[in-house]
Amino acid sequence: MRSWHEALPTHPVLERRGVAPVPEADTARRTSLLATRGTDMIVVVQNELRITPLAHIKRAMDQGSEMPGYKVLHSDVLDFVIQSVHVNPTGKLLVVVGTHTLALVILPRRGYMKQVGTRVPVKAVRIGAFYHAPHGTSAIAQCRWHPLGTEGASLVVLTEDAIVREYDVAHDVDEPRQTIAVLPPTRSAPSKWSADDDDEHCAVSCAFGRDSGESRALAPAANDGDSLDAGVMSAPSWLPYTLFVLMRSGDVYAVCPFLPHHATLARSAVQALATHQAPHARKYLAEILRQMPSHSVRASPAPDLTLYDDEAPVPEAVAITAPSSVAHRVGVQGPCLLRPSPRELDEESTSQACDLWVGQIRAEEATARLDMLAIAARDGSLHMGLLATPIVPQWVRTTGAAAPTVAVHECVDLALPAPRASLQAANHVSLVEDPLYPDTIYATHMYGMHVLSLRSWTAPLLDAMVHNDTQALQQTAQDGVPTDVSCAVRMPADQAAGIAGTLVLNDVYLSYTLIVLTADAQLAARELALQPGTSALCVPTQETERTYRPVLTQPFTPPSALHSTPIKLSSTLSPQTSVWPVTPDALRALGQLAEAVRARLQQVAEAGSAVQARVSEQMAEMQRQLRELQVAHERATVIEARELPERVRRVEATQAATVQRLDTLLQQLMDEHTPQLSMYERRWFDELERMSQEFGSPHSRAEAQRQKLAHQLEVLRPQLQARAAQRDTSQEPNASALGTRQLARVEAVLANEAQLLAQARAKVQRLQQALYARS
């Protein structure tokens, strides 16, 4: 039986309909045509939004039933070429991104597969139609849902003219709540005579920083500009309130603080930041704290159908509005200093950056963390580094703040099979983070996908930071351990179509799965292997002493006497004839031969004794192993008799409790989607049942009445036939009847008489009126 991973590439959701060509996404730009809403997969094929439940597909493959189909989310607003789709954190909204156009789609509820027909109409609206249109506006570089937005309604849009707009789609989809120009006005629109590179003014990607609680960041050395200081600074981090923007030239800018207009924050994290801050930052945080009550409220959980443990802690958060008391605008920091300068793979042409990844790797059960940053270029190179200085807030009039520093660890070359000049125009490298392992990222490109594991050099750094080992930290930074790179998806160079979408699922039911969609609508699914639970804090333990020591401690080597060559006479003493003359040399040779034979016999006897001793040891070892096996069998029998029933009982009790919880959840879902019948519906079904018994049974009163009426009809049928024949006879033409001309004359006379009667009646009425008038 095939698994659902093997059956997914043949699912009908990938079928192509019609023969007319349909405009599809441009793979030379940012493309993401795969998304998930819980266990539902949303895929764009032939510029159509299609959705199918992965959980139903797996259940169908396990049960051997028919594979479910798919639904097309249809709306007249989606009349543009789709480049990417993104589901918001609550799983209710979907943003559809084109080259210059944005649309917001309200996803259907869970029971969408029960609707009749393939096409499901959905509600969709345009976002920022004045700022994002096919004509006269800048192209869209990237769209992201902000993780701190209230109810997941904060959408951040970055255009290629380096302008960031934040829309609160729950309140207004036409006007942005915030607009930030990353570049100064003098640099955002360079003239054609400017000597600056146009790549420095074109934005290509953005990313949000992530952190929870206190973090530790590496600080740059005061003397050496290309090395890292061993000191570790422990302070609250502004990373979750920071926006990073990448330019096509590779410059990285930071905007801090950056919050959605309606955000959801933890009070403890804001209080930790409120200490030891600059005046503007303290005023900014004080306004946030004023909006928070003394006790936090529980955040509303996501609508995913997940079995929650009642004892598990739920994260507490408070909905606030972005502060507006600070009079100055938020300042843009950058471009970030890359130390040392990244190495270029091709000296003839300058690489063009295309994607940015910002992540965080921490040691288990420790506060040591590494703030990672990766820049991907079109030529297949990736610059891996980490933030060497903590991000601090900055406003427009703030002076003296230095640009953030990024310590570049290495430049990874994916070695794509194409000239770098052609890659600059047709290739786009996208970075996707693994949801289970923060130190693993996936790089998709025109020729497939590569997996990059950062554990080889981040684990020693975290270990040194945990133990505050200055020398180890400096040595690890100088050693330059490379990143582990492996190819996960390979496409032939002559058939390269590019990766149009990537999903890494981490679901209890669907397991840990990688799904890849190519630009020519081919889908590949693969279950990933879980990595061993090692971390930077793990210390190897010594092997415990073995309780069983075998008798045969050394391997047995057969003695050389058992396989030695036979003894031969020297060729000089070999007789030429059959008679061997007796000479002193001959007698001396015979004596030597006899001595060699006696020595050989002694060696064979010693070898036999050694073999016999080895056989005795092997017999003793076999008997000892049999005794140990008997003891193990007796112990297993005792465990099976005593402990196994108890374990089975506990497993059965746990299984029964789990099945009861599932039944309860299923009943709740059934009550929600298919509620119980009302009083009127029950009366209607009772009436239908009564009518079925009254009219459907062969011995019912209705059947008896029908038989009675049929008998009466048979009795009255001859009389009815006689009456019908009599009526037909009376309607036959009579010979004494008037003809046509005679009838016309009679009608004319009658009409004349009727006219005379009318005139007489009119005269009588006039006479009566005259009499009444005189009287």
> How many CA atoms within 13 Å lie on the side-chain side of 19?
0
Percentage of the chain lying above the pLDDT 70 cut? 83
> How many CA atoms within 13 Å lie on the side-chain side of 647?
6
Residue 730 has pLDDT above 70, yes or no: no
Question: What is the H or E stretch that residue 478 is in?
Answer: helix 470-479
Q: Is residue 107 a contact partner of residue 121, using CB atoms and an 8 Å limit?
A: no
Using alpha carbons only, what angle is made at residue 259 by residues 163 and 362, rounded to the nearest 5 degrees? 105
- Close Cβ partners of 168 (under 8 Å, ≥ 6 residues apart): 149, 153, 154, 155, 177, 260, 261, 262
SS3 for 211-250, per residue?
A: CCCEEEEEEECCCCCCCEEEEEEEEECCHHHCEEEEECCC
Burial 215-233, CB ≥16 within 10 A → b, else e: bbbbbbbeeeeebbbbebe
Is the dihedral angle over the CA atoms 141, 147, 150, 153 positive or is it negative?
positive
Nearest to 508 by CA among 47, 20, 55, 35: 55
Tokens 């009608």 correspond to what residue? Answer: 747
What's the average model confidence in pLDDT over 391-419? 83
Q: How confident is the model at residue 555 (pLDDT cuts 50, 70, 90)?
A: confident
Nearest to 26 by CA among 446, 515, 420, 524: 446
Rounded Cα distance between 425 and 416, Å, is 14
Three-state secondary-structure class, residue 593: helix
What's the average model confidence in pLDDT over 348-361? 87
Q: Output 328 or 491, whichever has higher pLDDT.
A: 491
> How many CA atoms within 13 Å lie on the side-chain side of 623?
6
Rounded Cα distance between 307 and 207, Å, is 31
Residue type, 63: Q
Q: What pLDDT does residue 734 have?
A: 54
Question: What is the H or E stretch that residue 299 is in?
Answer: none
Q: Is residue 4 a contact partner of residue 527, using CB atoms and an 8 Å limit?
A: no
Rounded Cα distance between 305 and 423, Å, is 43
Rounded Cα distance between 550 and 736, Å, is 139
Q: Output 450 or 362, whichever has higher pLDDT.
A: 450
Tokens 């099945």 correspond to what residue? Answer: 659
Residue 572 has pLDDT above 70, yes or no: no
Q: What pLDDT does residue 538 have?
A: 32
Q: Quick: pLDDT tens for 372-389.
A: 999 999 988 999 998 988
Tokens 């027909």 correspond to what residue? Answer: 117
Tell how strand 405-413 and strand 228-236 pair up.
unpaired
Residue type, 706: R
Report phi then psi at 550, rounded to 5.
-75, 155
Q: How confident is the model at residue 195 (pLDDT cuts 50, 70, 90)?
A: very low
Q: Where are the alpha helices (DSSP H) in 3-159?
A: 4-7, 54-63
Q: What pLDDT does residue 373 have?
A: 93
- Output the six-digit token pair for 767: 């006479």
Asked if the bond preceding 340 is cis, omega within 30° of 0, the reply is yes
pTM, full prediction? 0.66
N-terminal to C-terminal alpha carbon distance within the chain = 114
Rounded Cα distance between 34 and 489, Å, is 16
Q: Output 240 or 550, whichever has higher pLDDT.
A: 240
- Output the six-digit token pair for 772: 């009444």
Tokens 């840990």 correspond to what residue? Answer: 512
- Close Cβ partners of 764 (under 8 Å, ≥ 6 residues apart): none
Q: What's the farthest any 2 CA atoms get from each other in the chain?
A: 202
Q: Quick: pLDDT tens for 588-642.
A: 888 888 888 888 888 888 888 888 888 888 888 888 888 888 988 888 888 778 7
Q: How confident is the model at residue 485 (pLDDT cuts 50, 70, 90)?
A: very high
Residue 514 has pLDDT above 80, yes or no: yes
Q: What pLDDT does residue 162 have?
A: 92
- Output the six-digit token pair for 703: 């059947």
Q: How confident is the model at residue 1 (pLDDT cuts 50, 70, 90)?
A: low
Tell how strand 124-126 and strand 119-121 pair up.
unpaired
Three-state secondary-structure class, residue 713: helix
Q: Quick: pLDDT tens for 236-290.
A: 788 889 999 999 999 999 998 899 999 998 888 888 887 766 677 888 888 888 8
Three-state secondary-structure class, residue 136: coil
Rounded Cα distance between 608 and 554, Å, is 19
Rounded Cα distance between 211 and 144, Å, is 18
- What is the CA 251 to chain-centroid distance, rounded? 29
Q: Quick: pLDDT tens for 202-223.
A: 999 999 998 754 443 443 333 3
Rounded Cα distance between 733 and 155, Å, is 91
